[in-house]
Amino acid sequence: MLDLVNIQTYYGNIQALKNISIHIDEGEIVTLIGANGAGKTTTLMSISGIVPPKSGTITFLGEPIHDLNAEQIVARGISQVPEGRHIFPYLTVMENLDMGAFLRTDKRNIRADLEMIFEMFPILSDRRHQEGGTLSGGEQQMLAISRALMARPRLLLLDEPSLGLAPLIIKKIFIIIKEINRTRNTTIFLVEQNANLALHVADRGYVMENGSITMEDTAAALLVNEDVKRSYLGI
Amino acid sequence: MEYFLELFLGGMTRGSIYALIALGYTMVYGIIGLINFAHGEIYMIGAFTALITASVLTIFGLNPFAILVLAGLAAVVYSSAYGFTIEKVAYKPLRNAPRLSPLISAIGMSIFLQNYVLLAQTSDFMPFPNLIPEFAFMEPWAHIIGSSEIVILAVTAVAMVLLTLLIKFTRIGKAMRATAQDRKMAMLVGVNINRVISVTFIIGSSLAAIGGLLIASHIGQINFYIGFIAGIKAFTAAVLGGIGSIPGAVLGSFVLGWTESFATGYISSDYEDVFAFSLLVLILIFRPAGILGRSESKKV
Ligand SMILES: Nc1ncnc2c1ncn2[C@@H]1O[C@H](COP(=O)(O)OP(=O)(O)OP(=O)(O)O)[C@@H](O)[C@H]1O
Ligand SMILES: [Mg+2]
């Protein structure tokens, strides 16, 4: 479904991604783990067209997308929940959700999706007229995921959804991620520093170090890999 | 009491004109974080466009009200074209440059446009036709408020209501707010940032052009320099209210208009600007973010 081949991305003269290749099949949950500054966020920003790669190709559903702008990439069916959630602070919960559906015109389906989201996260329904910036961290993460879902993506990019949340909320968020993948048939690319958690929900995983992919395997295999255990699982 | 009322309404009229200009400063600042120093010139160009259109139409003997509307339309279209083009030529290429670069580019644009109009129209004040006849029914109150002031207040009120509806309820309005709050996130949900920025410049320029037409027909004469002075005043009003805030720009404009009007009326007209800027300094000392502004730390 998504293929990154030899991607190189720069910030000015600084090379953040060094020739990385990643492959994701339809229906999978694939995770990308790595330390701070490894280049995980940059990878997602390259896919979304915010920091376009300098060389290499990105193919989505058989068509190249590395030359498209961010708007066109969303329209193709890739939505991102960025690191730090990025809720529009002075838009209401409802308006934040509306922004998620910004490029859609199918009013009736939008309504149905909204109801589905309020069923999944009843708290958002209670808070629908409240400004996004006033929500708690956990609620903001739910809103960020919901906003991305309002675009009806084929592929959902999640950047550290567990960041700064209490264990109970993290558990809930990950159950929802799994459920989105299963019931809505949404493919998921999950960036996480919490490798243990990520490898438990994912089918496959990539390990990134200093802008390069250093390992790639099934999640089950990575969980028992000695290097991964030592570096990322803290065992 | 009547004198007070006269000053109050006079201040409000001034404030309305400032508000029409200040909104352009504050909206552009809200979206791209730039003080668009060329904005006063957009207003001046609006006034000149209205003057030229009105002069031509007067020759054809149209009725004044029709001339007013057509001159306003011409001013809006022409000023918007300038605002749109200035952004594309002078600011867009510098979008990722250090903050100072677009600011200097803006000052350059302002000087360029002033001199361009100076060359084309000379520095003489040009008489502006009086397009707003005295309303007969206003006769008894004519010493308190004139018909052109009533038109200014009414047109401004309508423009504010339309702008509020646009920002609050339309798709482009929501996209503008989202972009102002978090540009990268707006891109991630599929907002076309370039379009939002262009629309912001067009709306700001249109409002300034309406201000240009109204003030020109109220005062009765214009020259190339009116944009500089009005621009600084409106910018002051925007900062006073809290730059980036739309209600703030309107409130700041009225506060400034009233301050000037009452200071002139009760103390001395020589000190009009002294009072205006003293007020600015005072407010910035006690509320650095302006009356309705959000402090930077809260903004993030
Ligand atoms: N806007 C930027 N300008 C310059 N360098 C950047 C920028 N953003 C990221 N970098 C650099 O690129 C490298 C990769 O950063 P990135 O944010 O992709 O890492 P990450 O794996 O997401 O880290 P974390 O786990 O801390 O979020 C880092 O060395 C970082 O300093
Ligand atoms: Mg990151």
Enter the ipTM.
Answer: 0.94
Of B259, B294, B262, the residue nearest B280 (C-alpha): B259
Report the percentage of chain A scoring pLDDT > 70.
100
Residue A214 lies in a domain: yes
| pLDDT value of position B300 | 32
CA B219 to each of CA B47, B130, B196: distance values in angstroms, whole numbers, following the listed order: 11, 9, 34
Q: Which amino acid is at A123?
A: I
Residue A164 lies in a domain: yes
Residue A124 lies in a domain: no
Residue A156 lies in a domain: yes
Domain that holds residue A8: 2-85+152-231
| pLDDT value of position B299 | 40
In the DSSP assignment, the letter for residue B240 is: H
In the DSSP assignment, the letter for residue B133 is: P
Ligand 1 atom showing the smallest separation from residue A208 Cα: 21
Number of domain units in chain A? 1
Domain with residue A13: its CATH number is 3.40.50.300
| pLDDT value of position A228 | 86
Distance of residue B245 Cα from the nearest chain A Cα, in angstroms: 12
Ligand 1 atom showing the smallest separation from residue A45 Cα: 18
Ligand 2 center–CA A42 separation, angstroms: 7
Instruction: State how far Cα A187 lies from the chain centre.
Output: 10
CB A146 within 8 A of CB A97: yes
Q: Which residues of A touch B295 (CB under 8 A)?
A: none
Helix axes A137-149, A107-120, angle to 10 degrees: 150
Burial class (CB in 10 A: 0-12, 13-18, 19+), A77: middle
pTM of the model: 0.92
The answer, yes or no, to whether any atom of ligand 1 lies below 6 A from the CB of A212, is: no
The answer, yes or no, to whether any atom of ligand 1 lies below 6 A from the CB of A40, is: yes
CA gap A16, A10 in Å, rounded? 5
Ligand 1 atom showing the smallest separation from residue A12 Cα: 4
- Alpha-helix runs per DSSP H in chain B: 2-32, 39-59, 64-86, 100-121, 147-169, 171-181, 183-188, 193-219, 226-241, 246-262, 272-286, 296-299
Residue A112 lies in a domain: no
Residue A176 lies in a domain: yes
**Overall average pLDDT of the A69-73 stretch:** 96
Mutation test residue for ligand 1: of A8, A9, A10, A14, the one with most atoms within 8 Å of CB = A14
Q: Which of the residue ranges A61-65, A146-150, A182-186 would you say has the lowest mean pLDDT?
A: A182-186
Q: Which residues of A touch B181 (CB under 8 A)?
A: 88-91
| pLDDT value of position A99 | 97
Phi, psi of A121 (to 5 degrees): -125, 80
Ligand 2 center–CA A83 separation, angstroms: 6
Size of interface A-B (CB pairs under 8 A): 60
Neighbour order of strands in the sheet with A212-218: A78-81, A155-159, A187-192, A29-34, A204-209, A212-218
The answer, yes or no, to whether any atom of ligand 1 lies below 6 A from the CB of A204, is: no
pLDDT value at A94 more than 80:
yes
* CB atoms inside a 10 Å sphere around CB A221: 14
Q: How far apart are the first and last CA of chain A?
A: 34
CA A45 to each of CA A82, A107, A177: distance values in angstroms, whole numbers, following the listed order: 9, 29, 20
CA gap B162, A98 in Å, rounded? 22
The answer, yes or no, to whether any atom of ligand 1 lies below 6 A from the CB of A162, is: no
Cross-chain Cβ contact B174/A50 below 8 Å: no
- State both tokens at A47: 């896919």
pLDDT tens-digit profile, chain B (300 residues): 888 999 999 999 999 999 999 999 999 999 999 999 999 999 999 999 999 999 999 888 888 889 999 999 999 999 999 999 999 999 999 988 998 999 999 999 999 999 999 998 888 898 888 888 777 777 777 777 888 889 999 999 999 999 999 999 999 999 999 999 999 999 999 999 999 999 999 999 999 999 999 998 888 889 898 999 899 999 999 999 999 899 999 999 999 999 999 988 888 878 778 888 888 888 888 888 888 887 654 443
Residue A228 vs residue A207, higher pLDDT: A207
Residue A139 lies in a domain: no
| pLDDT value of position B297 | 44
The residue whose CA is least distant from atom 7 of ligand 1 is A11
The answer, yes or no, to whether any atom of ligand 1 lies below 6 A from the CB of A39, is: yes
CB B109 within 8 A of CB B206: no
The answer, yes or no, to whether any atom of ligand 1 lies below 6 A from the CB of A34, is: yes
Specify which residues A57 forms β-bridges with.
A5
What residues contact B125, with CB distance under 8 A and at least 6 apart?
B221, B222, B223
Residue A90 lies in a domain: no
Task: Kindly list the residues of chain B whose beta carbon comes within 8 Å of any beta carbon in chain A.
Answer: 171, 174-175, 177-178, 181-182, 184-192
CA gap B292, B243 in Å, rounded? 9
Of B234, B200, A12, the residue nearest B192 (C-alpha): B200
